[in-house]
A and B are shown apart, each in its own frame.
Chain A
Amino acid sequence: MQVVFYISGAIAILSTVLMLTRLNAVHALLYLVVSLLAIAVVFYVLGAALAAALEVIIYAGAIMVLFIFVVMLLNLGEAAVLKEKNLLTSTMWVGPAILSAVLIAEFVYILSEGSHGDLPAPVEPKQVGAALYAPYLIGVELGSMLLLAGIVGAYHLGWSRPQKDR
């Protein structure tokens, strides 16, 4: 099982790097979906089966699909791919690469005195559900309000007014 963890981790990192360097938006999105699925596997290995399912259903299944729909709506075409090529030069990578390297180094340093434990015990969905509706009830309510706000906001922004430009 631990091997699965490391393989999935590697796939996730690789597909994320590939995602960042694509020129075509749809290709990048597909690589992102692969990355998310790999993370779902990681969740399962860590014993969080519910989280793994949710990751697949909601993140990869709904959010990424939404992304793809929007990209298709925009209907960018070949011209966009060429433009991306012009924008994405190698010199642009220098700064962000340095920043990210620094961040990674800091994380590794902080975590350097961690334990290399073995497989953690799985946490049942039943436990998650019970905890969700007792101590974290307010969070649930707030989450639902947030989603409502998201719906209303998205509807309002998406509605094109007859005359006014913006």
Chain B
Amino acid sequence: MARITMREAISQALWEEMERDPKVFIQGEEVGVWGGSYAVTRGFYDHFGGERVRDTPISESAIIGSAIGAALTGLRPVAELMTINFAFVAMDHIVNQAAKLHYMFGGQMVLPIVIRAVSGGGRQLAATHSQTPDVIFAHFPGLKVVAPGTPYDAKGLLKSAIRSDDPVLYIEHATLYQMRGEVPDGEYLEPLGKSKIQRPGKDVTIVTYSKGLDLSMKAATELAKDGIEAEIVDLRSLQPLDMEPVYESFKKTNRAVIVEEGWRTFGIGAEISARIYEEAFDYIDAPIVRIGQKQVPLPYNRNLEQMALPQVEDVIKGVKEIV
């Protein structure tokens, strides 16, 4: 086991899959010579060459659209969006094409494409550069939406995503790249579409993913000092959504707090709580609490930004409202 950063974990996954399968290639803005805006592909260009680590024009539709074309021929492109905020100018390719091609081709072809995108606020990049719009991609059938919250999961899930024959949107949170965690030395894969208990507990179930996991783990440490043991279910994948561990935990704790960084309105919390009401109604002992971003565009100023984003204190307060 080595203790590495999320950035290193993602980079290792890409490197290993590039080494393993010559059909895998990377394309995006700045991914080659410069090594990526978040330095994930640093060193790749020198090792794998410009044909397989391709710098593209500033042309998100061309990046995603051409990756789809290449994937339909049997290659396995990993297309990088410098930020998920740039996905909106390539939205047709993501939700109208990638998500629907299996179905609209009646299963004639598979689309083994991974779109890596950096999501999330907290770096003072303001409203159009800091969004956490993960949930909208999970709304479209056909796309797999993966968003890891630990280096271990980041590596294992990305390797599975690259090997998957489905289109996968792989979301990296901008403030988690420096997070450190234990990662095995040898090869391992984590399954797509499986939730995971990241912390056992008995008093309340926190359902979360990505940056929300970081907030929730910190909140749980504080809550434990007051004798409250939170069980944390990390969704890891928003589509497909694995609810079984959530129901199992909820039937034990009878209380749930859902933590996401995106806006609460029509958010992941709404979906998760609706499903709990549908599947575990008899086990509900308290209202389900949803923690998320304030319903405003994310501001630039640090104090304003932190006010709008969910904080560890919000999670603690949310738990204490129902425990």
Q: Are both chains from one complex?
A: no
Report which A residues bind B (CB closer than 8 A).
none
Report which B residues bind A (CB closer than 8 A).
none
